[in-house]
Amino acid sequence: MKEIRVALAGPPNVGKSTLFNMLVGANRFVGNWPGKTVDKYEGFFEHMEYSIRVVDLPGTYSLNAQTEEEAIARDYIITEKPDVVVVLVDAVSLETTLYLAVQVLELYDRVVIAVNKIDAALKRGIHISTEKLSRKLGVPVVGISALRREGLHDLVDTIIRVAEGLETVRRLKLDYKGLDYYAREIEHAIKGCPKISEYPLEWSSMRLLEGDAELERTLQHYCADALGLVEATRRRVEEGLGSPPSLLAASVRYSFIDGVVAESVTTTGVVKREVTERLDKILLHPVAGPLTNLGIILSVLIVTLTVNTGFPIKQLLELTGNSELAQVFEKYTISGLFSSLFDSLSNVLAEYLSGIRLPAFLVSLIVDGVIGGVGAVLTFLPLVFIVSAAFGFLEDTGVMARIATANHSIMRRVGLSGKSLMPLLLGFGCNVPAIMGTKILETDREKLIASLIAPLIPCQARLVVLLILISALPATPMAKVVALVSTYAYSLLLVAVVARVASTFLSHGEKPELVLELPPYHRPSLRVIWWFAWDSTLHFLKKAGGIILGLSVVVWLLLHLGPDGFTEDISSSIAKAIGEALTPLTAVMGIPHWQVALALLTGFVAKETVASTLTVITGTVDPVEAVQKLALTPAQIASLIIFITLYTPCLATVATFHTQFRRYKLTILLIAYEFAIATVSAVIVYQALNLMGF
């Protein structure tokens, strides 16, 4: 078992001792720091495959080494070089507790910032964007409530990622303006001085300029000549800049903190108690509560999907005989507008590239492979953004917590707490944040169960593919709506069954309890909702954008390269050979088509590429027309719908799951059980419909 050494730093009264005790429990021991009278607290705990040893540094407001506690904390970081330093700050008093964090960040790079009392801040209408804090400070930032054990799982995972070098961290470098000039003079003088060189050179030169007594004593002992230059330089600063260097440096740090807080924190109004009580009578009512919450969730999903893809308004218009109006409506949805934009862009670019006599294969690669891939990524951005904004609204207003409370009794029947409903609902938008959201759950077992079933929830990417396949069905609009609703119902039934089975084996049937303190209702803040939406969209771009774009180019190469090099004839391409090799697998489901086999293979990487693969293979722009060109029977299309809905959603989801639990056996289990369920379900659907003559 690998050991990770963690130093826990923070100002007094920030909750550091509480976090220490929550992490190590009874596995702790007390001693003394060598040669000091200050108590030294150490402890350890195990997580996954790691033994994590925690050293609770003395509470200090800075690292100036003016007190015994400050000297101990600073010396430990420098001499022991822990794998990770966790610095606690107070969410309610962020501005006053960030000073120590800034000093640690200037001294050390492997740092994690834990924003404690995040629940207390929310009660006061204080919202903190940990993503923005992280970008400004250059290290991971995790929101926690040490007292309520919230966010501790995420904190420990982040500690491991930093220790293993899986997180990008950097040492903070502030712009000290005029002071930098004088600090560089000192830097040149102390370079190579014994003991001093143990510290970062820029850091120690600035600290000497500020008058760090501990460093001056060291300098006096090893490099006395340099000390004279330091003192002379300090006097020049006072004469030239009009203030002591220590005051100027502290001013720069506080100015930096002010900027960070201004960008990362916003405060919203809390509604009156009477309003909270009236709303809770509805949202927390045993009968009206779940129904009202369901209505809220469905309303959000319907509005979101209507704006983006036209569903279900388009289907309702077709059902009532208004097909032309349905087409117009679909054309002006966000997805329709993006498709039209990229079609026009592709045509203009193809004409231009052909005009400058670029080789045909390069024109095709740029227009169909690269531009097509970019279009596939950007088309989904508005959907991800709006879904995230909607969930951000529910979270910010306090409604999401009520949804969890009101539905606890229902979720408990399948072995989960009502709190698990929140991350699982995210699965309708994207399975990646759904799995990431399970970190809020209380126990590792519940996190695992929720993460295992989350990929069975049809995400928006799969919804788009389902709509394409259902649109290609030779059936009435009503039959198509029934097909879609039945697919969703079957998926959710499987979610409940798998959760129940997993709960029986992993929790031995023990029912989880919901420990959730309801926050007051807040007036929604556009800034907070924007944080939710933008961070999720950025996450999607980072996780899936590159994969989708890269895969589009790979698919193009497979379709246009053959034994004799570039080819426009798909029947002589590498893609066809791969598809034919996989056809026996799809034949089990009644679909012996190499085109389908290849599309399912690319769909393992990202579901959106199923449609783009089929359009490229069949040489058509319209994905519905692409499916129709394959001349599949209704039974074959239904089989394909079920399989696509249930097998692994995407590579990003698998990667997120593996990152969460770091156990290959669990990751393989996730892929295997979903593939098995998808295959068996598809075979049953195909055989049943085939026998019925479809």
Supply the CATH classification number for the domain 178-267. Answer: 1.10.287.1770
Q: For residue 200, what pLDDT is reported? A: 87
Annotated binding-site residues for Mg(2+) read: 21, 25
Angle at 520 between CA 516 and CA 526, to 5 degrees: 110
Q: Tell me whether the omega of the peptide bond preceding residue 140 falls within 30 degrees of 0, making it cis.
A: no
Tokens 């949202």, residue located:
283
Tell me the mean pLDDT in the region 18-31: 83
Tens of pLDDT, residue by residue over 523-544, are: 788 888 888 788 777 776 776 6
Which amino acid, one-letter code, is at 114? A
Using the predicted structure, report yes or no on whether residue 475 has a pLDDT greater than 90: no
Question: For residue 432, what pLDDT band results from cuts at 50, 70 and 90?
Answer: confident
The pLDDT value given to residue 284: 84
How far apart, in whole angstroms, are the C-alpha atoms of residue 57 and residue 285? Answer: 47
189, 266 contact by CB (below 8 A): no
Residue 314: count of CB within 10 angstroms of its CB: 25
Token digits for 642? 């079920």
Token pair 């003991």 is found at: 195
Average pLDDT over residues 158-162: 93
Q: Where are the domains of the chain?
A: 2-164, 178-267
Please report the pLDDT score of residue 548 as a whole number. 65
Return the pLDDT at 389.
Answer: 83
CA separation for the pair 116, 142 (Å, rounded): 9
How far apart are the two ends of the chain, measured CA to CA in Å? 57
DSSP code per residue over 468-515: HHHHTSSS-HHHHHHHHHHHHHHHHHHHHHHHHHHHHHHSTTPPP---
Residues annotated within a binding site for GTP: 10-17, 35-39, 56-59, 116-119
| Numbers of helices and strands, H then E, in the chain | 34, 11
* CATH match of 2-164 with 3.40.50.300: yes
Q: Is 521 exposed, middle or buried (0-12, 13-18, 19+ CB in 10 A)?
A: buried
- Order of strands across the sheet with 84-90? 28-32, 39-47, 50-56, 2-9, 84-90, 111-116, 141-143
In 10 A of CB 28, how many CB atoms?
16
Helix, strand, or coil (residue 53): strand
Q: How many CB atoms lie within 10 A of CB 563?
A: 9
The predicted structure's pLDDT at residue 103 = 94
Residue 10 has a pLDDT of: 93
Binding residues: 10-17, 21, 25, 35-39, 56-59, 116-119
Nearest Cα to Cα of residue 449 among 422, 431, 424? 424
How does residue 376 score in pLDDT terms, banded at 50, 70 and 90? low
3-state DSSP assignment of residue 84: strand
Asked whether the beta carbons of 384 and 390 are under 8 A apart, the reply is no
**pLDDT, tens digit, for every residue of 121-159?**
888 888 898 988 999 999 999 999 888 888 888 899 899
Residue matched to tokens 């994690």: 112
Write out 579-648 in H/E/C secondary structure.
HHHHHHHHHCCCCCCHHHHHHHHHHHHECHHHHHHHHHHHCCCCHHHHHHHCCCCHHHHHHHHHHHHHCC
**pLDDT above 90: residue 88:** yes
- Is the alpha carbon torsion for 236, 240, 246, 252 positive or negative? negative
- Can you say whether residue 99 is alpha, beta or left, with left for phi > 0 and alpha for psi between -120 and 50 degrees? alpha
Q: In this prediction, what percent of the chain has a pLDDT beyond 70? A: 94
Is residue 52 predicted with pLDDT exceeding 90?
Answer: yes
pLDDT band at 517 (very low <50, low <70, confident <90, very high): low
Average pLDDT for residues 457-462, to the nearest whole number?
Answer: 82
Distance CA 504, CA 416 (A): 11
User: Quick one: how far is CA 199 from the chain centroid?
Assistant: 35
